[in-house]
Structure 1
Amino acid sequence: MSTSRGINFLRVVRQATKINRNHNLQQTRNGHGGVVYRLPAPPPHKSVTIGAEVIGGVAWWWILWHLWHDYEHITGEFDYPDPSKWTDEELGIPPDDHDV
């Protein structure tokens, strides 16, 4: 019984060593891009550049349009109150005759 198991074990080892001998030791990477090691990156496709410029233009138009037409988001919707008209009580200042 041990002989038959030993023979099967040797067959498995033999097949495993055959696979490893024919197997490429370098791993395959699925990066979909060119190799850029010590080289400049390849230039992007023209459609990518045009798409980025269009999206950037729309984004700046949106920002500048809303800064011009809805500037209250930055400056505030209401007039700023005059601080000289505030009372000491509103500011939380105790009266002069208050004992500490």
Structure 2
Amino acid sequence: MKRTFALAAAVLSLASVSAFAADGKLTGYISDSMCAAKHMGTGAACVKKCMDGGDSPVFVDSASKTVYKIDNPDAVKAFWGAKVDVSASTSDDKKSVHISSIEEAK
């Protein structure tokens, strides 16, 4: 019984650690919630139009094509439709990202 309890505790502790990744650097695009990964560098005008129409900004990771809701959308307002490098922490459970710093990718 002790062994089962210890195994369950270990699994649960690992699951909680993976829920929030440590701060890291990511490269991707700021897109809108309706089109998300469809634009990937080709639709800045559409992203801006959708954002002006009320859609929420999202971050699309270039490497994995994962779409993350942005927890702090005001941080990305100047970068709608742009390819960016961000320092951020991600929540895989919520599919969200909190951006600490952002700059246009080179």
Provide TM-score, normalisation by structure 1. 0.28
Structure ranking higher on relative contact order (CA contacts 8 Å, 6+ apart): 2
Larger % of helix: which? 1
Which structure shows the bigger proportion of residues in strand conformation? 2
TM-score by length of 2: 0.27
Larger radius of gyration: 1
